[in-house]
Amino acid sequence: MNKLPECPIHPVSIKLLRQGHPWITADSFSNRFPRNSEFVVAMDERKRPMALLLHDPQHKNVKARLWTTKYPFDREAQHFTASVQARLDVAIEKRLQMKELKDRENYYLVFAEADQLPGLFIQKLNDRVLIQFYTSLWNKYKSIITTTIQEVFPEMKDDQFWFQMRGETRELQKLPVNAVDAGRRDEFHLSEFGNQYLIRLGSSYDHGLYTDMSAVRYELTKLITKDCRVLNLYSYTGAYSLWAMKLGASQVTSVDLSPKYIEWLQQNIGLNPDLDHTKHDALTMSVDEALAKLKSENKKFEVIICDPPSSSSDGDKRTSAIKAYKDLLRNMNMVLAENGKLVIFLNTHQTSGQKFERAILDYLKELNLNFKITQRLGLGQDCPTVKGFPEGSYLKGLVLEKV
């Protein structure tokens, strides 16, 4: 192996690396890393090697990711493949030991930086495995990844693996591709907490069920009591709606702008004969329209779940979810029953949990609404987070109780 390039990094990156932040973002230092080198040794302010980084010159923002701070770096780089296998084994074994995952056929085997496998997410979806790359450097290691997984799950055939390139820009948002047949589309069912869901691979960017929200769904068990009325805003394919029905809600209303997702939601309900579909209503319209309609009909709900996309466009302008919350809080309050609860989410790494909470408390004050925060929700179980790495804790939720 050639000598590893030793590169100075930005003073802020030095500080962040020391605090446990595993990314080197684009700046005048990282933009000068040698383009054709897979590894880079980061040098501290006294020109001492401080970390071995995986280099990603093609990524727009994240130019390198921490691999190790363990010396000697040249040996760590030489043994990279063996270390990948070892880290995969540790991550998978951890999930197999988690009793919380026994009621789910969907869970993460690997959760990227939190499993020391930067930019690599791997989900088990019933008997399929979806491998998602947020950095193209993993492309070279596809077969190492699949064979390591097959050693743990020997029944897994090559055609049960799917790969997907994920990213923030539109060009990087690719559909999942089957490992054996690039043109394949796949539809199957999986069970989460006793409910069946339809999963689609190969035909849409997201496959129909957000696995990173499973642990949060379970958390709502205590909140959705028998016979309460639940409103699920931005319902997508209805995971929260089905879960509320399973928990015994007397009435569930789902709202989503997309006819495709509402139809998918109806199919999901149809897969579960134990759920009483007469207790479910679907409104295919915008959340603003739905809240106005429900208010005019004098409808009330004990629990309202609100999980908007991180930003949305009405054709003219983009609005971030956090900005939209002022109107949403006002309008949700109009249809909330006495002592009702709002479960609100923000799904972006660009706003910290603290900032989200502060914004919500400010809005409530401006609107003269009396709520208290009774619970904070976030990633958990198979989706761990890392201290000092806020980008990894992208999901935040609050439970607000009307007082």
Give min distance, CB of 251 to ligand SAM, in A. 18
Among residues 68 and 320, whose Cβ is nearest to ligand SAM?
Answer: 320
The token pair that represents 143 in the structure block: 């077969």
Q: Which is nearer to ligand SAM, 163 or 210 (CB)?
A: 210
**Minimum CB distance to ligand SAM, residue 15 (Å):** 33
Minimum distance from residue 257 beta carbon to ligand SAM (Å): 4
The total of other beta-carbon atoms located within 10 Å of residue 117's CB is: 22
Query: 16 or 233: whose CB is closer to ligand SAM?
Result: 233
Dihedral sign from CA coordinates of 150, 156, 160, 166: negative
Q: For ligand SAM, which is the closer residue by CB, 116 or 235?
A: 235
Given the complex with ligand SAM, which of 29 and 356 has the nearer CB atom? 356
Q: Which two tokens stand for residue 204?
A: 């849409």
Distance CA 72, CA 68 (A): 10
What sign does the dihedral 202-206-208-213 (CA atoms) show? Answer: positive
- Distance, in Å, from the CA atom of 85 to the CA atom of 141, rounded to the nearest integer, reads 10
363 vs 344: CA distance, rounded Å: 13
3-class SS at 350?
coil
How many other CB atoms are there within 10 angstroms of residue 246's CB atom? 18
- Closest of 197, 282, 270, 277 to residue 245, by C-alpha: 277
Provide the minimum distance between the beta carbon of 35 and ligand SAM in the complex, in angstroms, as a whole number.
36
Minimum separation from the CB atom of position 265 to ligand SAM (A): 9
* Contact (Cβ atoms closer than 8 angstroms) between residue 156 and residue 123: no
- Whichever of 237 and 253 has its CB closer to ligand SAM, that residue is 237
Q: Provide, rounded to whole angstroms, the least separation between the CB of residue 242 and ligand SAM.
A: 10
Shortest spacing between CB 245 and ligand SAM, in angstroms: 14
| Strands (E) located in 184-321 | 186-192, 195-201, 229-233, 251-256, 280-284, 301-306, 311-313, 318-320
Please report how close the Cβ of residue 194 comes to ligand SAM at its closest, in angstroms. 17
Chain centroid to Cα 138, Å, comes to 19
Q: Count CB neighbours of 332 within 10 A.
A: 24
Q: Which residues bind ligand SAM (CB under 6 A)?
A: 210, 213, 234, 236-237, 239-240, 255-258, 261, 286-287, 307, 309, 312, 347
CB nearer to ligand SAM: give 129 or 213.
213
How far is C-alpha 186 from the chain's CA centre? 22
Beta bridge partner(s), residue 321: none
Residue among 309 and 390 whose Cβ is closer to ligand SAM:
309
